[in-house]
């Protein structure tokens, strides 16, 4: 079992992953190239835990112990003693490969390197590693503490021992681990093309408005959110990168063609909740108007 976990990237996903494992008893060190992102993430997690405590879900002592288990890392070398490092940085193959190369010079040979990539090939991320057998996918969903499922992705060369160790870790933290092969989009983001990419196609063809599509898919088949609400939660930059990556990996199969609407909106910074405006507008995290 892993005791000391390094989390790299303190954005939407990294902070959630840090909180999940600190809550289940592991020591977590959080690193980001932007020091202010780490500070922000730790404060964000403290606020969430305080809300849970106010609702009687944990004692003051448990709250303080959980907060104390999340420590900032000032540099990558602070992660030298970790037995698992999970990266949740920007969704770019070469950046993730470089990060793992840097880490391999720092951590011990037994340390497992996991990637939270949504859509890049785990095998390709591992292909430039000195020890590709220690690289696996560990794909969480946003918000991590609430979305109690995680894909454990088996790259072509991932050691089965590490897959089983990640499965055990996820179960111990109360998440359901779904072991998936390393195919484009794994399970969730492959099936999700029909939801997200197709909704954008409907919008570009003028079939229906953002609000109509969201409402119908929520109230009809009963999805918790419509596709545009989900884009706003995930961040359109992240979702668009997934669309492009899945399209590339399926050799430009037209079924997966990404949307120019999404490309334009990413260029304009209309990313969703994190920039205050996406398909909807937000103030203090609350949807404020239907544009
Ligand atoms: P984000 O943009 O909220 O956070 C990324 C963080 O990584 C930023 O704070 C940035 O400063 C930091 N960063 C970037 N490059 C770095 C580097 N080389 N070293 C250290 N830190 C670096 O992104 P988000 O949404 O948390 O996504 C992160 C990863 O998780 C991506 O691979 C994404 O595809 C994946 N993912 C995202 C989901 C979502 O719903 N947002 C769901 C599942 C996976």
Tens-digit pLDDT profile for residues 116-172: 999 899 999 999 999 999 999 999 999 999 999 999 999 999 999 999 999 999 999
Please give the positions annotated as active site. Answer: 118, 139, 151, 189
User: Of 146, 181, 216, which one is at a domain's C-terminal end?
Assistant: 181
pLDDT tens per residue, range 11-60? 999 999 999 999 999 999 999 999 999 999 999 999 999 999 999 999 99
pLDDT tier, 290 (very low <50, low <70, confident <90, very high otherwise): low
Q: Which of 158, 162, 148 is nearest to 181 (CA)?
A: 158
pTM of the model: 0.94
Ligand 1 atom nearest to 15, measured from its CA:
26
Q: HSE on the CB side for 124, CA within 13 Å?
A: 13
199 and 157 co-located in one domain: no
224 and 176 co-located in one domain: no
Please, which residues have CB within 8 angstroms of residue 261's CB and are 6 or more apart in sequence? Answer: 200, 203, 204
Mean pLDDT of 109-114: 97
Judge whether 132 lies within some domain: yes
Residues of the domain holding 246: 192-284
Looking at the chain, how many residues does it have?
A: 291
Please, which residues have CB within 8 angstroms of residue 73's CB and are 6 or more apart in sequence? Answer: 6, 29, 30, 31, 38, 79
Judge whether 259 lies within some domain: yes
Give me the pLDDT at residue 133, please. Answer: 98
Taking 70 as the threshold, does the pLDDT of residue 182 lie above it?
yes
pLDDT tier, 284 (very low <50, low <70, confident <90, very high otherwise): confident
CATH code of 199's domain? 1.10.1040.50
32 and 115 co-located in one domain: yes
Taking 70 as the threshold, does the pLDDT of residue 289 lie above it?
no
Task: Please report the ipTM that was assigned to this predicted complex.
Answer: 0.99
What's the token pair of residue 95? 């950046």
Judge whether 81 lies within some domain: yes
Distance 114 CA to ligand 1 centre (A): 13
Give, in degrees to the nearest 5, the angle at Cα 170 between 168 and 241: 130
Residues with CB under 6 A from ligand 1: 8-14, 32-34, 37, 88-91, 95, 99, 116-118, 139-142, 234-235, 238
110 and 42 co-located in one domain: yes
Nearest CA owner, ligand 1 atom 40: 234
Judge whether 253 lies within some domain: yes
Nearest CA owner, ligand 1 atom 29: 88
Ligand 1 atom nearest to 242, measured from its CA:
34
Taking 90 as the threshold, does the pLDDT of residue 1 lie above it?
no
Q: What is the 3-state secondary structure (H, E, C) of the chain?
A: CCCEEEEECCCHHHHHHHHHHHHCCCEEEEECCCHHHHHHHHHHHHHHHHHHHHCCCCCHHHHHHHHHCEEECCCHHHHCCCCEEEECCCCCHHHHHHHHHHHHCCCCCCCEEEECCCCCCHHHHHCCCCCHHHEEEEECCCCCCCCCEEEEEECCCCCHHHHHHHHHHHHHCCCEEEEEECCCCCCHHHHCHHHHHHHHHHHHCCCCCHHHHHHHHHHCCCCCCCHHHHHHHHCHHHHHHHHHHHHHHCCCCHHHCCCHHHHHHHHCCCCEHHHCECCCEEECCEEEECC
- What's the domain count of the chain? 2
- Residue that is written with structure tokens 């609430």 in the block: 146
142 and 228 co-located in one domain: no
CATH code of 80's domain? 3.40.50.720
Average pLDDT, whole number, for the chain? 96
pLDDT tens per residue, range 248-274? 999 999 999 999 999 999 999 999 999
Measured CA distances, 287 to 215, 228, 279 (Å): 15, 12, 10
151 and 196 co-located in one domain: no
pLDDT tier, 288 (very low <50, low <70, confident <90, very high otherwise): confident
175 and 196 co-located in one domain: no
140 and 246 co-located in one domain: no
Q: HSE on the CB side for 215, CA within 13 Å?
A: 6
Distance 242 CA to ligand 1 centre (A): 13
């Amino acid at each position: 079992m892993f005791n000391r976990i390094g989390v790299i990237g303190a954005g939407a996903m990294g902070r959630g992953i840090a909180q999940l494992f600190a809550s289940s008893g592991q020591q977590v060190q959080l690193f980001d190239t932007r020091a202010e992102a780490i500070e922000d993430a730790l404060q964000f997690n403290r606020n969430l835990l305080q809300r849970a405590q106010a609702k009687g879900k944990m004692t003051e002592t448990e709250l303080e112990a959980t907060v104390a288990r999340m420590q900032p890392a000032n540099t990558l070398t602070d992660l030298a003693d970790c037995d698992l490092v999970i990266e949740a940085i920007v969704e770019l193959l070469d950046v993730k490969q470089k990060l793992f190369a840097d880490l391999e010079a720092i951590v011990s040979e037994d340390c497992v390197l996991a990637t939270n990539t949504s859509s890049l090939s785990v095998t390709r991320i591992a292909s430039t590693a000195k020890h590709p057998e220690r690289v696996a996918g560990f794909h969480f969903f946003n918000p991590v503490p609430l979305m109690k499922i995680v894909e454990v992705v088996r790259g072509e060369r991932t050691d089965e021992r590490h897959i089983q160790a990640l499965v055990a870790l996820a179960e111990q933290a109360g998440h359901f681990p779904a072991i998936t092969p390393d195919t484009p989009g794994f399970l969730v983001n492959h099936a999700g093309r029909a939801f997200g990419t197709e909704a954008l196609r409907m919008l570009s063809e003028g079939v229906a408005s953002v609000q109509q599509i969201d409402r119908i898919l929520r109230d009809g088949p009963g999805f918790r959110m419509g596709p545009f609400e989900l884009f706003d939660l995930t961040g359109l930059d992240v979702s668009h990168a997934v669309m492009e990556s899945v399209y590339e990996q399926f050799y430009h199969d037209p079924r997966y063609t990404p949307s120019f609407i999404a490309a334009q909106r990413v260029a304009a910074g209309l990313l969703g909740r994190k920039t205050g405006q996406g398909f909807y507008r937000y103030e203090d995290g609350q949807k404020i108007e239907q544009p």
